[in-house]
Amino acid sequence: MLQNVIAIVSGGASGLGAATASYLVRNGARVVVADLPAAKEHFQKLEASVSGDDVSGSLKFAEADVTSEDEVSSALDMTEEDFGEHGKRGGSYVVVFYAKLAHFAKCTHLLHHTHYLHILIQSM
């Protein structure tokens, strides 16, 4: 259903963000969870809960504090490299914010211009 979707979920290692990331992966999307380094343990639990051959490699973690433009930029670069045009997989982008919007809106130009970027803002 979501095989051509590449999603970035800020604040996605726990709570509603993790539920969203899980839903997206289980429905075929490739997902990068961008969260604080301290959330890595929560991400590992999320990763274990969606593990399986059909979702292998579809869920990645990017350490990113949304108040740091450099960290957000690095998370977007990682998303592009792992799942985007440079990775030869292509797709449409969805960005879901459970952590504050902060620098994501400033950095979305880093995603390849041929991709459609849809932004869902859950909290600001």
Average pLDDT, the chain: 78
Residue 57 is classified by DSSP as T
- pLDDT at position 67: 79
- Residue 91 — very low, low, confident or very high, per pLDDT cuts 50/70/90? low
pLDDT digits (tens, 9 = 90+) for 44-86: 999 999 987 678 889 999 999 887 888 888 888 888 888 876 5
Query: Ramachandran region of residue 65, left (φ > 0), alpha (ψ -120 to 50) or beta?
Result: beta
Q: Is the pTM of this model over 0.95?
A: no
Average pLDDT over residues 103-118: 49
Q: Say which CATH number the domain at 111 has.
A: 3.40.50.720
Domain that holds residue 41: 5-121
Nearest to 91 by CA among 67, 118, 68, 73: 118
Q: Please determine, for residue 5, whether its predicted confidence score (pLDDT) is greater than 80.
A: yes
pLDDT digits (tens, 9 = 90+) for 20-43: 999 999 999 999 999 999 999 999
- The count of domains in the chain is 1
Give the span between the Cα atoms of 65 and 44, in whole angstroms. Answer: 18
Neighbour count for residue 15 (Cβ, 10 Å): 11
Give the span between the Cα atoms of 4 and 117, in whole angstroms. Answer: 12
Residue 74 in tokens: 């690095």
